[in-house]
A and B are shown apart, each in its own frame.
Chain A
Amino acid sequence: MTAHETLPSRRSRRDDDGRSARPAPRRRQTVGGAIVSLIAELLIIAGAGTGLYVVWTAWWTDVVAVNAQTKLVDGLGQKDTSGTGTEHRGPAPVLAEPPNVTDVFGTMQIPRFGKDYERPIGEGTDREKVLNTIGLGHYQDTAMPGAEGNFAVAGHRVTYGKPLNQIAELKTGDDIVVRVTDAKTKFDVWYVYKVTDSQIVTPDHVETIAPVPNKPGVEPTASDRWLTLTACHPMWSAKERYVTHAKLDYWMPASEGTPKELSETTK
């Protein structure tokens, strides 16, 4: 009985539920109710915001990046060349490494990723400046395409245009076709690489992009003209890296024609 008397709010609520809606107790109740509904509304807003963030990451960044990357490919002014040229297997012409991070110097096509797969390659692996915008980024100070050593390229597995989304589908012998173009020096050459192997490592395994992959300190020879792709693994995680190596098969000046690998239908 005494407890009941010290809890006026409970009594007033009972009054309210019971017979009449007296103004005074009703008002005291709305204070508590208002706080609860404010918290509820803030939770709804937070939930909606989080949901929107997921939509933005998983979808909108792709829309923006694919659009930008298509423009960059067009901006290189690469002309379609007809016919299938000679497959050169000797020492290849090599473009000097671009001086500035974000310089776009070529494109990559991978038939396994679809006929329309063509992405620009930018200099550097800065996340904001290169990977989030240009897409594929060339590790600075690794070899350029066609050169002895390892042409190493990083790209997002998910979000921001996800250029290496399907990296795990690459099989031994698959083609990776790189075209390096420099309008100023009229440099325009195709390089066709064949996938040799893939590995899954933790992100500290820098020897995967050594001049001779996984043999740091070994000098590359004429037969060591590698290409390495690195992407996140598993998808949406930063825990590991999916690394795919490929070896140069042949090169061809773009003026001579287009590699047959690009006209073949996807296996």
Chain B
Amino acid sequence: MIFPFVWRILPGPAALKVIELLVLLAAIVFVLFTWVFPWVAADILPPPDGTVDVTPSP
């Protein structure tokens, strides 16, 4: 469904499609590393911070 669709809409011959696919993946990883994961870490899954506190840290 998704993967064949992406493969179909990418222009050019197969070799070019592979390169386009790699660029697309790199862009996705960049967006995830820069914005999505920091947001997940801060607001959804805060990692332990190592402090002692009267109110235990989440």
B42 within 8 A of A: yes
Q: From residue A10, how far is it (CB to closest CB) to chain B in Å?
A: 24
Q: Is B40 an interface residue (CB 8 A)?
A: yes
Besides A60-B33, A243-B52, 7 other A-B contacts (C-beta < 8 A): A57-B37, A154-B51, A154-B52, A204-B52, A230-B52, A232-B48, A238-B58
| Whole-angstrom CA separation of A208 from B37 in the bound complex | 33
**Size of interface on B: residues with Cβ below 8 Å to A:** 22
Q: How far is the CA of A265 from the CA of B40 in the complex (A)?
A: 42
Tell me the count of chain A residues lying within 8 A, CB to CB, of chain B.
43
- Measured CB to CB, the nearest residue on chain B to A229 is B50
Q: How far is the CA of A131 from the CA of B47 in the complex (A)?
A: 11
Contact (Cβ within 8 A) B48 A53: no
A contact residues around B49 at 8 Å (CB):
125, 127, 131, 154, 156, 232, 238
> Which residues of B pack against A, CB within 8 Å?
1-3, 29, 32-33, 37, 40-42, 46-54, 56-58
- Chain B nearest Cβ from A101, distance in angstroms: 13
Main secondary structure of the interface of A (DSSP, over half): mixed
A-to-B contact residues, CB < 8 Å = 34, 37-38, 41-42, 45, 49, 52-53, 56-57, 60-61, 125, 127-128, 131, 137, 139, 154-160, 164, 201-206, 208-209, 230-232, 236-238, 241, 243
Among the listed A42, A57, A201, which residue makes an inter-chain contact with B52, where contact means beta carbons less than 8 Å apart? A201
